[in-house]
């Protein structure tokens, strides 16, 4: 059974951040879709005295393109992402991760901010967002600040968010035509399964040279991580089969997987090697196709 807690339902973002600011030493948590938090409360892994629900704050549930940026409100659900043509066009890896996220019922409530804030290295929306160089907007009663997602996590389930801050939005630059973005989730099943290894790749190209490479790895380190040495090998070069193989091996070297109930560390390293190779080769092929078409 649940321990008792007070539930507050603010009607606006202003009310929500003021409610968070009034915590006065009371253990207060934010409630979004509840698909992670309510499981933790039921298992008594967390015992909050007060929950601030975001359920009535519609301004946090949106996907919009403003100038060169695409912005997703923090209460946007996985189902909203799946329905969005804008995400399909400008964040293909994020759309791909939403397709293999949980089952339909969880997708209908699970939010993008909840996925980031729960801090799991296996959180499926995070590798795609990391590969897109996304920023996280954190808001409290005094204002807001923007933190690159790459700097958001500081350790296993640790992040830079202060207790009085809400994640209010996630945004990234609309990628140009010469940019390809892919994701693959390796798990026991296609849906409703915790990720064994998740890889997201973004490549940019100009004149046959890889101008940008992002390789984001999920479930193979205490936090979702970038394989920066592998990225550096790809950037500035014309990608060949040999170079892609070398960079994929480097990504496998860089990750720090553990043995657990779902897979051994060795298997996860092998998966990083194979998936990085497959996704980089696929993204590079996408870019060539785009060049031929344009
Ligand atoms: C059956 C099942 C299947 C699942 N499958 C997957 C899966 O395939 N892939 C995957 O990645 N996850 C999966 N999950 C985990 C969970 O659904 C996701 O992490 C989800 O995105 C959490 O979002 P939520 O809105 O439900 O967050 P909540 O449960 O409401 O909150 C999670 C945490 O985030 C904090 N939080 C929420 N919103 C904010 C905010 N705006 N600002 C600051 N902090 C905030 C809360 O305080 C809490 O600590 C699954 C869970 C279940 C129960």
116 CA to middle of ligand 1, Å?
Answer: 8
Q: What is the pLDDT of residue 294?
A: 44
Q: Does domain 6-53 have CATH number 3.40.50.720?
A: no
pLDDT of residue 177: 80
Task: Render pLDDT for 62-98 as a digit per residue (tens, 0 to 9).
Answer: 999 999 999 999 999 999 999 999 999 999 999 999 9
The highest-level CATH class for domain 60-173 is: alpha beta
**Sign of torsion over alpha carbons 133, 134, 138, 139:** positive
Write out pLDDT tens, residues 136-146: 999 999 999 99
Nearest to 205 by CA among 176, 182, 231, 229: 176
Q: Where exactly are the structural domains of the chain?
A: 6-53, 60-173, 179-293
Among the listed residues 270, 285, 199, the one whose alpha carbon sits nearest the alpha carbon of residue 239:
285
Whether residue 39 has its Cβ less than 6 Å from ligand 1 = yes
Report the run of H or E that residue 211 belongs to, with start and end. strand 209-218
In a mutational test of the pocket of ligand 1, which residue from 115, 184, 192 has the highest number of ligand atoms less than 8 Å from its CB?
A: 115
The confidence score (pLDDT) of residue 25 equals 87
Q: What is the pairing mode between strands 69-73 and 63-66?
A: antiparallel
State whether the beta carbon of 35 lies less than 6 angstroms from ligand 1.
yes
The SS3 assignment for 26 reads: coil
pLDDT tens-place string over residues 208-230: 999 999 999 999 999 999 999 99
CATH class of 179-293: alpha beta
Sole residue written with tokens 């296996």: 122
CB 94 within 8 A of CB 87: yes
Mean pLDDT (10-residue bins), the chain, 294 residues: 89 98 92 97 94 97 96 98 97 97 96 98 98 98 98 97 97 92 92 91 96 98 98 97 98 96 95 98 87 50
Largest CA distance in the chain: 62
Instruction: Assess whether the region 60-173 and the region 179-293 belong to the same CATH fold.
Output: no
**The predicted structure's pLDDT at residue 289:** 65
Q: Between the CA atoms of 220, 90, 35 and 255, what dihedral angle is there, to the nearest 10 degrees?
A: 10
Question: How far, rounded to the nearest angstrom, does the alpha carbon of residue 73 sit from its chain's CA centroid?
Answer: 14
Q: Is 253 helix (H, G, I), strand (E, B) or coil?
A: helix
């Amino acid at each position: 059974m649940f321990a008792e807690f007070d539930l507050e339902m603010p009607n606006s973002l202003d009310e929500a951040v003021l409610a968070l600011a009034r915590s006065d030493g009371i253990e207060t948590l934010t409630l979004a879709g509840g698909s992670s938090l309510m499981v933790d409360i039921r298992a008594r892994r967390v015992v909050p005295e007060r929950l601030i629900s975001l359920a009535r704050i519609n301004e946090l549930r949106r996907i919009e393109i403003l100038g060169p940026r695409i912005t997703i409100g923090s209460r946007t659900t996985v189902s909203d992402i799946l329905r969005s043509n804008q995400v399909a066009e400008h964040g293909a890896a994020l759309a791909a991760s939403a397709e293999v996220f949980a089952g339909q019922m969880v997708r209908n409530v699970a939010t993008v901010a909840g996925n980031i804030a729960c801090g799991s290295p296996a959180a499926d929306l995070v590798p795609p967002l990391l590969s897109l160089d996304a920023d996280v907007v954190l808001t409290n009663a005094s204002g807001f600040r923007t933190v690159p997602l790459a700097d958001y996590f500081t350790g296993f389930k640790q992040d830079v968010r202060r207790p009085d801050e809400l994640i209010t939005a996630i945004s990234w630059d609309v990628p140009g035509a010469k940019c390809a973005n892919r994701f693959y989730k390796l798990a026991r099943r296609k849906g409703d399964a915790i990720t064994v290894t998740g890889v997201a790749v973004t490549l940019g190209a100009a004149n046959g040279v890889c101008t940008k490479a992002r390789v984001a790895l999920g479930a193979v380190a205490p936090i979702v991580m970038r394989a920066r040495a592998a990225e550096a090998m790809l950037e500035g070069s014309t990608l060949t089969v040999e170079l892609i193989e070398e960079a994929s091996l480097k990504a496998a070297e860089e990750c720090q997987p553990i043995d657990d109930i779902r897979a051994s560390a060795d298997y996860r390293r092998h998966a990083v090697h194979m998936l990085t190779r497959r996704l980089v080769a696929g993204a590079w092929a996408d870019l060539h196709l785009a060049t031929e078409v344009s």
